[in-house]
Amino acid sequence: MAPTRSLRCSSTSSMAPRLVRACARPVPRSSTTRHAMASPETPTTTTTTTTTLSREERKRQRMEENTNFAVENDGFKSTADQRAICAASFGLTALCVGESLSSASSVADVPELALSALAAYVLSDLGSGVFHWSVDNYGSGKTPILGNVIAAFQGHHSEPWTITMREFSNNTYKTCIPTIPFLVLCAADVDHPQWQMFWSLFSAFICLAQQFHAWSHMSKQEIPKPVAALQDAKLVITRQAHSMHHRAPFENNYCIVSGLCNPALDGSGVLQWAEERIFEATGVKPRCWLSEEELKSSV
Ligand SMILES: [Zn+2]
Ligand SMILES: [Zn+2]
């Protein structure tokens, strides 16, 4: 029998506006914030280091000092390792797409490859939604293999503005890691160019989803103009569409590539059906059923 839900909205209605405001403009959270850090725009003490930093870098540094990161030793700047992981993943994607295109022996092959690319774009949005739902609701930072990813997604709901501070590789490398062995196999499968095109682009869109997600938390003035144009065309997840995910009842709008699949995924009720079956089989409640008090005690 389906359990009675204790949705976050029942006890966190006061939390929703805070989260939405947080989406609108990054603000430091720590109650121990020093006076010089009270506002991201407040100038810091002049030192040799800070005067050589750009305004954006100084802001990132102040935010970094005042953020309670969900993952130990986390930060906003990309490390050399993170850049290398992203370069490997996107480099392999480029290799797979190149191999796939070079296999086209006639003009007749092109529509098939274009269809594969389109299918990857649409289905990666659905895949991002199912993946996002799973890590938002199940597991913790201690879960094997995916622990850091789970901690980052679940931590995002308490400090959503931090994603806007992350550099590209810092933001995407966690998703890029598992794609590397998969893309190596994909690159070796030269006999199936349509599948090469599909799986490599599917993987790339899933990796880029975190960057699209970050842009959806920024204002128009903060994102590159071409990205704003893509958002206006609804080809990548928009600020308005994703803000729904951060509002009560916190159980929908999980897709973060384009958001095109959100109405179908939410309307189907398949995620709620899965939550009830998992609860019946294991007794584990998804986090979207928990009250704010239960969420705090589950950490
Ligand atoms: Zn989420
Ligand atoms: Zn978000």
| Model confidence pLDDT, tens digit, residues 200-224 | 999 999 999 999 999 999 999 999 9
Q: How confident is the model at residue 51 (pLDDT cuts 50, 70, 90)?
A: low
Q: How far apart are CA 170 and CA 181, in angstroms?
A: 20
Span from the CA of 154 to the centroid of ligand 1 (angstroms): 7
Q: How confident is the model at residue 95 (pLDDT cuts 50, 70, 90)?
A: very high
Q: How confident is the model at residue 38 (pLDDT cuts 50, 70, 90)?
A: very low
Ligand nearest to the CA of 213: 2
Ligand nearest to the CA of 150: 1
**Which tens digits make up the pLDDT trace of 156-191?**
998 888 899 999 999 999 999 999 999 999 999 989
pLDDT at 47: 45
Ligand nearest to the CA of 152: 1
Whether the Cβ atoms of residue 175 and residue 210 lie closer than 8 Å to each other:
yes
pLDDT at 285: 94
Q: How far apart are CA 151 and CA 187, in angstroms?
A: 31
**Which tens digits make up the pLDDT trace of 232-260?**
999 999 999 999 999 988 899 999 999 99
131: CB partners within 8 A, 6+ apart: 206
The pTM assigned to this predicted structure is 0.77
In the predicted model, is pLDDT for residue 261 greater than 50? yes
pLDDT at 107: 64
From first CA to last CA, the distance across the chain in angstroms is 28
In the predicted model, is pLDDT for residue 40 greater than 60? no
Which long-range contacts link 19-22 to residues 24+ away (Cβ below 8 Å)? 19/157, 19/160, 19/246, 19/247, 20/243, 20/246, 20/247, 22/159, 22/160, 22/161, 22/246
Span from the CA of 186 to the centroid of ligand 2 (angstroms): 30
Whether the Cβ atoms of residue 20 and residue 246 lie closer than 8 Å to each other:
yes
Q: How far apart are CA 91 and CA 89, in angstroms?
A: 5
pLDDT at 41: 37
Average pLDDT of the chain, as a whole number: 82
Ligand nearest to the CA of 243: 2
Span from the CA of 84 to the centroid of ligand 1 (angstroms): 27
